[in-house]
Structure 1
Protein backbone atom coordinates (compact mmCIF):
# COMPACT_ATOMS: atom_id res chain seq x y z
CA UNK A 1 0.00 0.00 0.00
CA UNK A 2 1.50 3.38 -0.98
CA UNK A 3 1.99 5.99 1.73
CA UNK A 4 0.99 9.66 1.68
CA UNK A 5 3.13 12.27 3.39
CA UNK A 6 0.38 14.72 4.28
CA UNK A 7 2.78 17.53 5.27
CA UNK A 8 6.18 18.00 3.65
CA UNK A 9 7.96 21.29 2.82
CA UNK A 10 9.86 19.92 -0.15
CA UNK A 11 10.03 23.45 -1.58
CA UNK A 12 12.22 24.74 1.27
CA UNK A 13 15.85 25.70 0.52
CA UNK A 14 17.09 22.70 2.53
CA UNK A 15 16.16 20.56 -0.49
CA UNK A 16 17.51 22.81 -3.25
CA UNK A 17 20.63 20.69 -3.80
CA UNK A 18 18.93 17.28 -4.10
CA UNK A 19 15.16 17.72 -4.32
CA UNK A 20 14.64 15.31 -7.22
CA UNK A 21 16.81 12.66 -5.57
CA UNK A 22 14.94 13.00 -2.27
CA UNK A 23 11.65 12.58 -4.11
CA UNK A 24 12.98 9.51 -5.92
CA UNK A 25 14.21 7.89 -2.72
CA UNK A 26 10.88 8.58 -1.01
CA UNK A 27 8.98 6.91 -3.82
CA UNK A 28 11.35 3.96 -3.78
CA UNK A 29 10.30 3.50 -0.14
CA UNK A 30 6.60 3.64 -1.01
CA UNK A 31 5.88 7.32 -0.31
CA UNK A 32 4.08 7.94 -3.57
CA UNK A 33 2.31 11.17 -2.65
CA UNK A 34 3.34 14.26 -0.75
CA UNK A 35 1.31 17.34 0.14
CA UNK A 36 3.43 20.51 -0.06
CA UNK A 37 1.95 23.37 2.02
CA UNK A 38 2.61 27.03 1.28
CA UNK A 39 3.50 29.33 4.16
CA UNK A 40 3.67 32.86 2.66
CA UNK A 41 2.43 34.52 -0.50
CA UNK A 42 6.03 34.73 -1.65
CA UNK A 43 6.50 30.95 -1.69
CA UNK A 44 3.23 29.92 -3.36
CA UNK A 45 4.72 30.05 -6.85
CA UNK A 46 7.60 27.85 -5.73
CA UNK A 47 5.21 25.28 -4.27
CA UNK A 48 3.14 25.21 -7.45
CA UNK A 49 6.20 25.05 -9.70
CA UNK A 50 7.70 22.11 -7.81
CA UNK A 51 4.45 20.18 -8.03
CA UNK A 52 4.07 20.97 -11.72
CA UNK A 53 7.69 20.13 -12.56
CA UNK A 54 7.36 16.87 -10.70
CA UNK A 55 4.26 16.04 -12.71
CA UNK A 56 6.11 16.60 -15.97
CA UNK A 57 8.97 14.40 -14.79
CA UNK A 58 6.58 11.63 -13.83
CA UNK A 59 4.68 11.93 -17.12
CA UNK A 60 7.94 11.28 -18.95
CA UNK A 61 8.31 7.92 -17.17
CA UNK A 62 6.84 4.66 -18.36
CA UNK A 63 5.05 4.05 -15.09
CA UNK A 64 3.02 6.23 -12.73
CA UNK A 65 5.12 6.92 -9.65
CA UNK A 66 2.76 9.14 -7.71
CA UNK A 67 2.41 12.88 -7.46
CA UNK A 68 3.01 15.94 -5.36
CA UNK A 69 0.00 18.04 -4.39
CA UNK A 70 0.12 21.74 -3.46
CA UNK A 71 -1.64 23.51 -0.62
CA UNK A 72 -1.53 27.29 -0.26
CA UNK A 73 -1.81 29.33 2.91
CA UNK A 74 -0.45 31.99 5.25
CA UNK A 75 1.40 30.43 8.20
CA UNK A 76 0.94 32.04 11.64
CA UNK A 77 4.67 32.11 12.39
CA UNK A 78 5.24 34.31 9.33
CA UNK A 79 2.51 36.74 10.32
CA UNK A 80 4.90 39.73 10.14
CA UNK A 81 5.48 38.94 6.45
CA UNK A 82 1.80 38.81 5.52
CA UNK A 83 -0.22 41.68 4.10
CA UNK A 84 -4.03 41.98 4.13
CA UNK A 85 -3.91 42.03 0.32
CA UNK A 86 -2.49 38.49 0.48
CA UNK A 87 -6.01 37.26 1.23
CA UNK A 88 -7.16 38.58 -2.15
CA UNK A 89 -4.09 37.03 -3.74
CA UNK A 90 -4.92 33.72 -2.11
CA UNK A 91 -8.49 33.88 -3.35
CA UNK A 92 -7.24 34.35 -6.91
CA UNK A 93 -4.73 31.53 -6.54
CA UNK A 94 -7.49 29.21 -5.35
CA UNK A 95 -9.50 30.02 -8.45
CA UNK A 96 -6.57 29.75 -10.82
CA UNK A 97 -4.37 26.98 -9.45
CA UNK A 98 -6.80 24.71 -7.62
CA UNK A 99 -4.62 23.52 -4.73
CA UNK A 100 -5.68 20.46 -2.80
CA UNK A 101 -6.12 22.37 0.49
CA UNK A 102 -5.63 25.70 2.23
CA UNK A 103 -2.60 25.53 4.45
CA UNK A 104 -0.52 25.84 6.36
CA UNK A 105 -2.70 28.06 8.55
CA UNK A 106 -3.58 28.36 12.23
CA UNK A 107 -2.53 29.95 15.50
CA UNK A 108 0.80 29.71 17.31
CA UNK A 109 0.89 31.31 20.76
CA UNK A 110 4.17 29.64 21.73
CA UNK A 111 6.01 32.70 20.39
CA UNK A 112 4.99 35.91 22.21
CA UNK A 113 6.55 38.09 19.51
CA UNK A 114 4.07 36.85 16.88
CA UNK A 115 1.08 39.24 16.94
CA UNK A 116 -1.84 37.08 18.20
CA UNK A 117 -4.56 39.41 16.93
CA UNK A 118 -3.03 39.46 13.46
CA UNK A 119 -2.81 35.67 13.56
CA UNK A 120 -6.48 35.48 14.45
CA UNK A 121 -7.43 37.80 11.57
CA UNK A 122 -5.53 35.80 8.95
CA UNK A 123 -6.92 32.53 10.28
CA UNK A 124 -10.50 33.81 10.13
CA UNK A 125 -10.05 35.10 6.59
CA UNK A 126 -8.56 31.82 5.39
CA UNK A 127 -11.24 29.72 7.06
CA UNK A 128 -13.81 31.83 5.22
CA UNK A 129 -12.03 31.02 1.95
CA UNK A 130 -11.97 27.34 2.83
CA UNK A 131 -15.72 27.40 3.38
CA UNK A 132 -16.32 29.33 0.14
CA UNK A 133 -14.11 27.05 -1.97
CA UNK A 134 -15.10 23.87 -0.10
CA UNK A 135 -11.47 23.02 0.61
CA UNK A 136 -9.96 21.23 3.62
CA UNK A 137 -7.41 23.09 5.73
CA UNK A 138 -3.98 22.10 7.05
CA UNK A 139 -3.64 23.42 10.58
CA UNK A 140 -0.59 24.54 12.53
CA UNK A 141 -1.59 24.94 16.18
CA UNK A 142 0.53 25.49 19.29
CA UNK A 143 -0.86 26.51 22.68
CA UNK A 144 -4.11 27.47 20.96
CA UNK A 145 -6.10 24.28 20.36
CA UNK A 146 -9.24 25.33 22.23
CA UNK A 147 -9.40 28.65 20.41
CA UNK A 148 -8.82 27.04 17.01
CA UNK A 149 -11.49 24.42 17.70
CA UNK A 150 -13.96 27.20 18.48
CA UNK A 151 -12.99 29.01 15.27
CA UNK A 152 -13.58 25.83 13.30
CA UNK A 153 -17.01 25.34 14.85
CA UNK A 154 -17.98 28.84 13.76
CA UNK A 155 -16.38 28.65 10.32
CA UNK A 156 -18.00 25.37 9.18
CA UNK A 157 -15.13 24.29 6.95
CA UNK A 158 -15.07 20.87 5.23
CA UNK A 159 -12.55 19.27 7.58
CA UNK A 160 -8.82 18.99 7.20
CA UNK A 161 -5.74 17.87 9.10
CA UNK A 162 -4.40 19.07 12.45
CA UNK A 163 -0.73 18.83 11.52
CA UNK A 164 1.79 17.58 14.11
CA UNK A 165 -1.00 17.19 16.64
CA UNK A 166 0.19 17.72 20.21
CA UNK A 167 -3.00 18.48 22.12
CA UNK A 168 -5.02 16.49 24.62
CA UNK A 169 -7.20 13.45 24.00
CA UNK A 170 -10.28 15.62 24.56
CA UNK A 171 -9.07 18.18 22.02
CA UNK A 172 -8.30 15.38 19.58
CA UNK A 173 -11.88 14.14 19.76
CA UNK A 174 -13.14 17.69 19.24
CA UNK A 175 -11.17 17.92 16.00
CA UNK A 176 -12.41 14.49 14.93
CA UNK A 177 -16.02 15.56 15.52
CA UNK A 178 -15.40 18.48 13.14
CA UNK A 179 -14.21 16.19 10.34
CA UNK A 180 -10.48 16.49 10.95
CA UNK A 181 -7.72 13.93 10.86
CA UNK A 182 -4.69 14.16 13.14
CA UNK A 183 -1.17 14.16 11.73
CA UNK A 184 1.60 12.12 13.38
CA UNK A 185 5.22 12.42 12.33
CA UNK A 186 8.82 12.00 13.39
CA UNK A 187 8.30 12.76 17.08
CA UNK A 188 6.35 9.51 17.33
CA UNK A 189 9.61 7.60 16.74
CA UNK A 190 11.15 8.89 19.99
CA UNK A 191 10.46 6.66 22.99
CA UNK A 192 10.49 9.74 25.24
CA UNK A 193 7.39 11.08 23.40
CA UNK A 194 5.15 9.30 25.89
CA UNK A 195 2.15 11.61 25.59
CA UNK A 196 2.22 11.49 21.80
CA UNK A 197 2.62 7.73 21.71
CA UNK A 198 -0.30 7.37 24.12
CA UNK A 199 -2.45 9.49 21.81
CA UNK A 200 -1.44 7.46 18.76
CA UNK A 201 -2.46 4.30 20.62
CA UNK A 202 -5.71 5.63 22.10
CA UNK A 203 -7.21 7.45 19.12
CA UNK A 204 -9.41 5.70 16.55
CA UNK A 205 -7.41 4.52 13.56
CA UNK A 206 -9.76 6.27 11.15
CA UNK A 207 -8.59 9.63 12.59
CA UNK A 208 -4.86 9.17 11.91
CA UNK A 209 -2.69 10.29 9.01
CA UNK A 210 1.07 10.26 8.56
CA UNK A 211 3.43 13.16 7.87
CA UNK A 212 7.07 14.19 8.13
CA UNK A 213 7.02 18.02 8.20
CA UNK A 214 10.36 17.72 6.40
CA UNK A 215 12.89 19.27 6.66
CA UNK A 216 11.88 19.75 10.33
CA UNK A 217 10.89 17.37 13.15
CA UNK A 218 13.03 14.47 12.00
CA UNK A 219 12.84 10.84 13.10
CA UNK A 220 14.92 9.39 15.93
CA UNK A 221 17.33 7.59 13.61
CA UNK A 222 18.31 10.91 12.02
CA UNK A 223 18.22 13.14 15.09
CA UNK A 224 20.00 16.42 14.46
CA UNK A 225 19.82 15.96 10.69
CA UNK A 226 17.51 17.16 7.95
CA UNK A 227 14.18 15.37 7.92
CA UNK A 228 13.01 13.84 4.65
CA UNK A 229 9.82 12.30 3.22
CA UNK A 230 11.83 9.11 2.64
CA UNK A 231 11.69 8.56 6.43
CA UNK A 232 7.89 8.30 6.53
CA UNK A 233 8.05 4.46 6.74
CA UNK A 234 9.83 4.92 10.08
CA UNK A 235 6.83 6.87 11.34
CA UNK A 236 4.62 4.02 10.14
CA UNK A 237 6.82 1.52 11.99
CA UNK A 238 6.55 3.55 15.19
CA UNK A 239 2.77 3.69 14.84
CA UNK A 240 2.69 -0.08 14.35
CA UNK A 241 4.80 -0.51 17.47
CA UNK A 242 2.64 1.62 19.76
CA UNK A 243 -0.64 0.19 18.45
CA UNK A 244 0.55 -3.42 18.26
CA UNK A 245 -0.69 -3.62 14.68
CA UNK A 246 0.66 -4.79 11.34
CA UNK A 247 2.37 -2.03 9.31
CA UNK A 248 0.60 -3.04 6.10
CA UNK A 249 -2.81 -2.63 7.73
CA UNK A 250 -1.83 0.76 9.13
CA UNK A 251 -0.42 1.87 5.79
CA UNK A 252 -3.69 0.99 4.10
CA UNK A 253 -5.78 2.75 6.75
CA UNK A 254 -3.74 5.96 7.00
CA UNK A 255 -3.52 6.29 3.22
CA UNK A 256 -7.29 5.83 2.94
CA UNK A 257 -7.78 8.42 5.70
CA UNK A 258 -5.58 10.93 3.88
CA UNK A 259 -7.33 10.38 0.57
CA UNK A 260 -10.69 10.78 2.24
CA UNK A 261 -10.00 14.07 4.02
CA UNK A 262 -8.15 15.57 1.04
CA UNK A 263 -10.76 14.50 -1.50
CA UNK A 264 -8.42 12.21 -3.44
CA UNK A 265 -9.32 9.02 -5.21
CA UNK A 266 -6.70 6.37 -5.85
CA UNK A 267 -6.64 7.51 -9.49
CA UNK A 268 -6.14 11.14 -8.45
CA UNK A 269 -3.14 10.14 -6.39
CA UNK A 270 -1.42 8.88 -9.53
CA UNK A 271 -2.39 11.78 -11.81
CA UNK A 272 -0.42 14.95 -12.33
CA UNK A 273 -1.60 18.18 -10.79
CA UNK A 274 -3.18 20.18 -13.59
CA UNK A 275 -3.71 23.94 -13.70
Structure 2
Protein backbone atom coordinates (compact mmCIF):
# COMPACT_ATOMS: atom_id res chain seq x y z
CA UNK A 1 0.00 0.00 0.00
CA UNK A 2 2.80 2.38 0.93
CA UNK A 3 4.64 1.69 -2.33
CA UNK A 4 1.51 2.34 -4.38
CA UNK A 5 0.93 5.59 -2.50
CA UNK A 6 4.50 6.68 -3.26
CA UNK A 7 3.86 6.01 -6.94
CA UNK A 8 0.65 8.05 -6.98
CA UNK A 9 1.81 11.08 -4.95
CA UNK A 10 4.05 12.56 -7.73
CA UNK A 11 1.23 12.07 -10.23
CA UNK A 12 -1.25 13.81 -7.93
CA UNK A 13 1.15 16.70 -7.36
CA UNK A 14 1.79 17.16 -11.10
CA UNK A 15 -1.78 16.63 -12.25
CA UNK A 16 -3.01 20.25 -11.61
CA UNK A 17 -0.09 21.65 -13.65
CA UNK A 18 -0.68 19.11 -16.39
CA UNK A 19 -4.38 19.99 -16.48
CA UNK A 20 -3.69 23.74 -16.66
CA UNK A 21 -1.17 23.27 -19.48
CA UNK A 22 -3.59 21.00 -21.32
CA UNK A 23 -6.37 23.62 -21.12
CA UNK A 24 -4.57 26.96 -21.39
CA UNK A 25 -1.89 25.96 -23.91
CA UNK A 26 -3.08 23.09 -26.07
CA UNK A 27 -6.75 23.86 -25.54
CA UNK A 28 -6.33 27.45 -26.73
CA UNK A 29 -4.19 26.29 -29.67
CA UNK A 30 -7.04 24.00 -30.72
CA UNK A 31 -9.56 26.83 -30.21
CA UNK A 32 -7.46 29.20 -32.33
CA UNK A 33 -7.27 26.54 -35.02
CA UNK A 34 -11.06 26.21 -34.96
CA UNK A 35 -11.55 30.00 -35.22
CA UNK A 36 -9.30 30.06 -38.28
CA UNK A 37 -11.99 28.06 -40.12
CA UNK A 38 -14.83 30.43 -39.12
CA UNK A 39 -15.94 33.92 -40.18
CA UNK A 40 -15.03 35.40 -36.78
CA UNK A 41 -14.50 39.15 -36.78
CA UNK A 42 -14.58 41.35 -33.67
CA UNK A 43 -16.01 38.44 -31.63
CA UNK A 44 -15.73 34.67 -32.09
CA UNK A 45 -18.20 33.22 -34.54
CA UNK A 46 -18.96 29.59 -35.21
CA UNK A 47 -20.04 29.85 -38.85
CA UNK A 48 -17.75 27.40 -40.67
CA UNK A 49 -16.11 28.81 -43.81
CA UNK A 50 -13.43 26.16 -44.37
CA UNK A 51 -10.15 27.39 -45.89
CA UNK A 52 -11.53 30.78 -46.92
CA UNK A 53 -9.48 32.69 -44.31
CA UNK A 54 -6.28 31.00 -45.43
CA UNK A 55 -7.03 31.83 -49.07
CA UNK A 56 -7.69 35.47 -48.18
CA UNK A 57 -4.57 35.57 -46.02
CA UNK A 58 -2.21 34.52 -48.82
CA UNK A 59 -3.77 37.09 -51.15
CA UNK A 60 -3.03 39.99 -48.78
CA UNK A 61 0.03 42.16 -49.73
CA UNK A 62 0.32 42.99 -46.03
CA UNK A 63 0.90 39.30 -45.18
CA UNK A 64 3.44 38.86 -47.98
CA UNK A 65 5.31 41.89 -46.68
CA UNK A 66 5.39 40.34 -43.21
CA UNK A 67 6.68 37.03 -44.63
CA UNK A 68 9.34 38.83 -46.69
CA UNK A 69 10.47 40.79 -43.65
CA UNK A 70 10.61 37.57 -41.64
CA UNK A 71 12.87 36.00 -44.30
CA UNK A 72 15.23 39.02 -44.18
CA UNK A 73 15.15 39.39 -40.41
CA UNK A 74 15.34 35.68 -39.63
CA UNK A 75 18.20 34.84 -42.00
CA UNK A 76 20.37 37.79 -40.92
CA UNK A 77 19.51 37.35 -37.24
CA UNK A 78 20.42 33.66 -37.19
CA UNK A 79 23.55 34.09 -39.32
CA UNK A 80 25.01 37.09 -37.48
CA UNK A 81 24.19 35.74 -34.01
CA UNK A 82 25.78 32.39 -34.88
CA UNK A 83 28.97 33.91 -36.32
CA UNK A 84 29.33 36.55 -33.61
CA UNK A 85 28.49 34.10 -30.83
CA UNK A 86 31.04 31.60 -32.15
CA UNK A 87 33.77 34.26 -32.40
CA UNK A 88 33.10 35.49 -28.86
CA UNK A 89 33.07 31.91 -27.56
CA UNK A 90 36.41 31.17 -29.24
CA UNK A 91 37.82 34.37 -27.73
CA UNK A 92 36.76 33.36 -24.23
CA UNK A 93 37.92 29.79 -24.81
CA UNK A 94 41.50 31.09 -24.90
CA UNK A 95 41.17 31.40 -21.10
CA UNK A 96 42.00 35.09 -21.09
CA UNK A 97 42.33 36.85 -17.77
CA UNK A 98 39.25 39.00 -18.23
CA UNK A 99 36.93 36.06 -18.96
CA UNK A 100 35.14 36.42 -15.63
CA UNK A 101 34.39 40.07 -16.49
CA UNK A 102 33.61 39.70 -20.20
CA UNK A 103 31.24 36.75 -19.89
CA UNK A 104 28.58 38.58 -17.82
CA UNK A 105 28.99 41.67 -20.02
CA UNK A 106 28.19 39.62 -23.12
CA UNK A 107 25.32 37.85 -21.37
CA UNK A 108 23.79 40.99 -19.82
CA UNK A 109 21.60 41.98 -22.83
CA UNK A 110 19.78 38.65 -22.65
CA UNK A 111 18.71 39.53 -19.10
CA UNK A 112 16.74 42.48 -20.48
CA UNK A 113 13.27 42.15 -21.94
CA UNK A 114 12.79 42.79 -25.64
CA UNK A 115 10.65 45.80 -24.72
CA UNK A 116 13.58 47.40 -22.89
CA UNK A 117 15.95 46.52 -25.73
CA UNK A 118 13.60 47.96 -28.35
CA UNK A 119 13.05 51.17 -26.40
CA UNK A 120 16.78 51.70 -25.78
CA UNK A 121 17.69 51.11 -29.42
CA UNK A 122 14.82 53.32 -30.57
CA UNK A 123 16.35 56.21 -28.63
CA UNK A 124 19.87 55.36 -29.80
CA UNK A 125 18.88 55.20 -33.49
CA UNK A 126 16.53 58.17 -33.50
CA UNK A 127 18.20 60.87 -35.67
CA UNK A 128 16.83 63.63 -33.46
CA UNK A 129 18.20 62.44 -30.11
CA UNK A 130 20.43 59.44 -30.73
CA UNK A 131 23.66 58.58 -32.50
CA UNK A 132 23.23 60.95 -35.46
CA UNK A 133 22.40 63.90 -33.20
CA UNK A 134 25.40 63.15 -30.96
CA UNK A 135 27.79 62.95 -33.92
CA UNK A 136 26.51 66.27 -35.20
CA UNK A 137 27.15 67.85 -31.81
CA UNK A 138 30.71 66.51 -31.91
CA UNK A 139 31.34 68.22 -35.23
CA UNK A 140 30.60 65.49 -37.80
CA UNK A 141 27.82 67.41 -39.54
CA UNK A 142 27.85 65.12 -42.59
CA UNK A 143 27.23 61.96 -40.53
CA UNK A 144 23.85 60.38 -41.25
CA UNK A 145 22.29 57.25 -39.81
CA UNK A 146 18.53 57.44 -40.21
CA UNK A 147 17.75 53.78 -40.98
CA UNK A 148 14.94 53.73 -38.44
CA UNK A 149 13.08 56.35 -40.51
CA UNK A 150 13.89 54.75 -43.88
CA UNK A 151 11.38 52.21 -45.21
CA UNK A 152 14.08 50.32 -47.11
CA UNK A 153 16.47 50.06 -44.15
CA UNK A 154 14.20 49.98 -41.09
CA UNK A 155 14.05 46.16 -40.95
CA UNK A 156 17.84 46.11 -40.49
CA UNK A 157 17.54 48.16 -37.31
CA UNK A 158 15.40 45.33 -35.91
CA UNK A 159 18.20 42.93 -36.87
CA UNK A 160 20.79 45.10 -35.08
CA UNK A 161 18.77 45.27 -31.86
CA UNK A 162 17.94 41.54 -31.92
CA UNK A 163 21.56 40.54 -32.53
CA UNK A 164 22.70 42.74 -29.64
CA UNK A 165 20.14 41.03 -27.42
CA UNK A 166 20.81 37.40 -28.34
CA UNK A 167 24.45 37.05 -29.42
CA UNK A 168 25.65 36.72 -25.81
CA UNK A 169 23.25 33.84 -25.21
CA UNK A 170 24.51 32.08 -28.35
CA UNK A 171 28.05 32.73 -27.16
CA UNK A 172 27.26 30.91 -23.91
CA UNK A 173 25.90 27.92 -25.85
CA UNK A 174 28.98 27.74 -28.05
CA UNK A 175 31.32 28.23 -25.11
CA UNK A 176 29.72 25.27 -23.32
CA UNK A 177 30.17 23.26 -26.51
CA UNK A 178 33.82 24.26 -26.83
CA UNK A 179 34.52 23.34 -23.22
CA UNK A 180 32.85 19.97 -23.81
CA UNK A 181 35.23 18.91 -26.60
CA UNK A 182 37.60 16.14 -25.51
CA UNK A 183 40.95 17.74 -24.66
CA UNK A 184 42.82 14.61 -25.81
CA UNK A 185 41.67 15.22 -29.38
CA UNK A 186 42.96 18.80 -29.24
CA UNK A 187 46.29 17.69 -27.77
CA UNK A 188 46.67 15.06 -30.50
CA UNK A 189 46.10 17.72 -33.17
CA UNK A 190 48.67 20.01 -31.54
CA UNK A 191 51.23 17.18 -31.43
CA UNK A 192 50.64 16.62 -35.16
CA UNK A 193 51.55 20.27 -35.74
CA UNK A 194 48.08 21.63 -36.48
CA UNK A 195 47.72 25.38 -35.95
CA UNK A 196 45.01 26.81 -33.71
CA UNK A 197 43.01 27.96 -36.74
CA UNK A 198 43.21 24.51 -38.36
CA UNK A 199 42.29 22.81 -35.08
CA UNK A 200 39.13 24.88 -34.74
CA UNK A 201 38.19 24.63 -38.42
CA UNK A 202 38.88 20.93 -38.98
CA UNK A 203 38.23 19.39 -35.55
CA UNK A 204 36.49 21.49 -32.92
CA UNK A 205 33.80 23.26 -34.97
CA UNK A 206 32.69 20.08 -36.83
CA UNK A 207 32.30 18.35 -33.45
CA UNK A 208 29.93 21.14 -32.38
CA UNK A 209 27.22 20.36 -34.94
CA UNK A 210 24.62 19.57 -32.22
CA UNK A 211 25.29 22.97 -30.63
CA UNK A 212 24.86 24.73 -33.98
CA UNK A 213 21.58 22.90 -34.48
CA UNK A 214 20.35 23.86 -31.00
CA UNK A 215 21.31 27.50 -31.57
CA UNK A 216 19.51 27.50 -34.92
CA UNK A 217 16.31 26.11 -33.37
CA UNK A 218 16.33 28.66 -30.53
CA UNK A 219 17.06 31.63 -32.81
CA UNK A 220 14.56 30.57 -35.46
CA UNK A 221 11.88 30.21 -32.79
CA UNK A 222 12.64 33.70 -31.46
CA UNK A 223 12.60 35.16 -34.98
CA UNK A 224 9.23 33.66 -35.93
CA UNK A 225 7.46 34.88 -32.79
CA UNK A 226 9.24 38.26 -32.62
CA UNK A 227 6.67 40.86 -31.55
CA UNK A 228 7.60 42.99 -28.55
CA UNK A 229 10.98 44.06 -29.97
CA UNK A 230 9.36 45.30 -33.19
CA UNK A 231 6.55 47.09 -31.36
CA UNK A 232 8.96 48.87 -29.00
CA UNK A 233 11.51 49.74 -31.69
CA UNK A 234 9.51 50.68 -34.78
CA UNK A 235 5.87 49.86 -34.09
CA UNK A 236 5.87 47.94 -37.37
CA UNK A 237 6.70 51.10 -39.31
CA UNK A 238 7.50 53.33 -41.00
CA UNK A 239 4.34 52.37 -42.80
CA UNK A 240 4.45 48.58 -42.73
CA UNK A 241 8.18 48.35 -43.42
CA UNK A 242 8.99 46.25 -40.34
CA UNK A 243 5.82 44.18 -40.06
CA UNK A 244 6.42 40.56 -39.05
CA UNK A 245 3.88 37.72 -38.83
CA UNK A 246 3.39 38.26 -35.08
CA UNK A 247 2.61 41.97 -35.48
CA UNK A 248 0.39 41.17 -38.47
CA UNK A 249 -1.54 38.65 -36.36
CA UNK A 250 -2.10 41.18 -33.57
CA UNK A 251 -3.10 43.92 -36.02
CA UNK A 252 -5.70 41.84 -37.85
CA UNK A 253 -7.10 40.29 -34.67
CA UNK A 254 -7.36 43.27 -32.34
CA UNK A 255 -7.10 46.38 -34.55
CA UNK A 256 -8.81 45.46 -37.81
CA UNK A 257 -11.22 43.08 -36.05
CA UNK A 258 -10.68 40.21 -38.48
CA UNK A 259 -10.25 37.43 -35.95
CA UNK A 260 -10.56 34.64 -38.48
CA UNK A 261 -7.64 35.91 -40.57
CA UNK A 262 -5.63 36.69 -37.43
CA UNK A 263 -6.20 33.12 -36.19
CA UNK A 264 -5.15 31.65 -39.53
CA UNK A 265 -1.90 33.67 -39.45
CA UNK A 266 -1.26 32.40 -35.91
CA UNK A 267 -1.74 28.80 -37.07
CA UNK A 268 0.73 29.33 -39.92
CA UNK A 269 3.26 30.73 -37.43
CA UNK A 270 2.75 27.64 -35.28
CA UNK A 271 3.31 25.40 -38.32
CA UNK A 272 6.56 27.26 -39.03
CA UNK A 273 7.76 26.63 -35.48
CA UNK A 274 6.69 22.98 -35.55
CA UNK A 275 8.48 22.48 -38.87
CA UNK A 276 11.71 23.44 -37.08
CA UNK A 277 11.19 21.84 -33.67
CA UNK A 278 9.78 18.45 -34.72
CA UNK A 279 12.76 17.48 -36.96
CA UNK A 280 15.08 18.67 -34.21
CA UNK A 281 13.35 16.52 -31.58
CA UNK A 282 13.31 13.56 -33.96
CA UNK A 283 17.04 13.96 -34.56
CA UNK A 284 17.77 14.20 -30.83
CA UNK A 285 15.63 11.19 -29.96
CA UNK A 286 17.14 9.10 -32.74
CA UNK A 287 20.64 10.05 -31.59
CA UNK A 288 19.73 9.14 -28.00
CA UNK A 289 18.41 5.73 -29.09
CA UNK A 290 21.60 5.00 -31.05
CA UNK A 291 23.69 5.83 -28.00
Query: If you compute each CA radius of gyration, which structure gives the higher value, 1 or 2?
Result: 2
Q: TM-score range by the shorter chain?
A: under 0.3
Greater fraction of residues in helix = 2
Give the TM-score, by structure 1 length: 0.25
